[in-house]
Amino acid sequence: MYEATVSAPVNIACIKYWGKRNTKLILPTNSSLSVTLDQDHLRSTTTSRADESFEKGDRLWLNGKEETVKEDGRLGVCIKELRNWRKVEEDKDGSLPKLSKWPLRIASYNNFPTAAGLASSASGLAALVASLSKLYSLPQTPSQLSLIARQGSGSACRSLFGGFVAWREGSNEDGSDSLAEEVAPQGHWPEMHALICVVSDAKKGTSSTSGMQRTVETSTLLQHRLKIVPGRMEEISKAIKDRDFQKFGEITMKDSNSFHSVCLDTSPPIFYLNDVSKSIIASIEELNRSSGEIVAAYTFDAGPNAVIYALEKNIPKVLGVITKFFPTSEENSDPFGTAAEALPEGYNTNVVREGGWEKGAVKSLIHTRVGDGPRTLGRE
Ligand code: DP6
């Protein structure tokens, strides 16, 4: 039996992917850019096995529960493409065992509860692709592997790299240039931290997949957004290279708000932010105003949970605001043991009206930072 175990990180976009120009190949309507979060804190781990004696058919378990692998489903497509790549190697070198012909047994789990409201598809699919690539000893680069992860879930292609990652939309019909690339490695800006505010652990009402398609079909505002994103990609890449948090934060917040605006411009409209999310936005905007500079930047995916990016030195300020207005009801995770700081002088507490104050409005906080790409592990 052959076996490989790999873990892969979660990524949170600063420039959002929202819309497909090809739903089968998962080709996006715009490029996107994300920060990879530290796998020491949040990760998906996948073990893949291939054996000649396994009963026919591939099988997969997600967090201990068996899922059906449909041949023409997203997962089935990823497995098939990786098998084809293995077959190419076997044809080149006749001495290789014919793993491409053997059934697979794949087990994947997240170290964070799916209920934490964090997208697990990105880290999950990236871990699956990276583990099969390891099992098959494939020579492909992370960018080439991202072409396959993309077909599992668009955002998964960015989890094949650490640090700061761009997914280039590409222009080829067959998707061969729609891939992820590193903009800057983890070590370029290690001071970049993130605070995840878990507002709700309920499964979201409208999935990203169906929501973004409805936006493509019905939103006129999306056409305007698509003209703006290329400039933002350039600007934020430069901000990252220059370690310019002011610019990074400004663009991150603007793009999150732009994404939620096109959701609202969709028919019927899609609401991902709730009153608590909006109060978090107000509380961070006021922190930045009263600090006289951008010290924190919020961003929201297809749900009400906030991810707040801030430099390590400013996390005490962010924690000061969040813990004051949003006392948590569950245990927080802060491996750095950061203490909260008092609100800046001149902070207008009236800005946080609805949703805040009430204990439990934010369930828990997870403090993490920029992390590395997939890791090959021993048996877990
Ligand atoms: C709001 O990657 O989950 O998180 O490609 O249909 O699987 P599919 O969608 P998915 O969409 C993620 C949308 C987002 C923005 C982002 O991560 O860029």
What value does the mean pLDDT take over residues 2-13? Answer: 97
Cα(376) to ligand 1 centroid in Å equals 25
Pocket test for ligand 1, best of 23, 78, 125, 208 (most atoms within 8 A of CB): 208
pLDDT more than 70, % of the chain = 97
CA of 18 to the centre of ligand 1 (A): 7
Give pLDDT, residue 271. Answer: 95
Q: Is the pLDDT of residue 115 over 60?
A: no
Note whether 153 and 20 are within 8 A (CB): no
Q: From the CA of 155, give the closest atom in ligand 1.
A: 2
Distance 204 CA to ligand 1 centre (A): 13
Give the binding-site residues of ligand 1, using a 6 Å CB cut-off. 13, 16-18, 26, 32, 119, 121, 153-155, 208-209, 301-302
Strands 104-110 and 43-50: what pairing?
antiparallel
Q: How far is the CA of 125 from the centre of ligand 1 (A)?
A: 12
Q: What is the mean pLDDT of the chain?
A: 95
Ligand 1 centroid–CA 129 distance in Å is 17
Q: Give the nearest ligand 1 atom to 32 CA.
A: 18
Rounded Cα distance between 159 and 37, Å, is 9
Count of Cβ atoms closer than 10 Å to residue 64 Cβ: 8
Pocket test for ligand 1, best of 26, 153, 155, 261 (most atoms within 8 A of CB): 155
pLDDT tens digits along 193-238 = 999 999 987 766 889 999 999 999 999 999 999 999 999 999 999 9
Ligand 1 atom with least separation from CA of 17? 18
- Mean pLDDT over 113-136 rounds to 86
Query: What pLDDT does 205 receive?
Result: 82
Q: What is the pLDDT of residues 238-263, one digit of tens each?
A: 999 999 999 999 999 999 999 999 99
Q: In 3-state terms, the chain is what percent helix, strand and coil (to 5)?
A: 40, 20, 40
User: 224 CA distance to ligand 1 centroid (A)?
Assistant: 20
pLDDT digits 0-9 by tens, 316-357: 999 999 999 999 988 899 999 999 999 999 999 998 876 677
pLDDT at residue 121, as a whole number: 86
Three-state SS across 51-116?
CCCCCCCCEEEECCEEECCCCCCHHHHHHHHHHHHHHHHHHHCCCCCCHHHCCEEEEEEECCCHHH
For range 301-307, the mean pLDDT: 94
* Interval 145-169: pLDDT, tens: 999 999 999 999 999 999 999 999 9
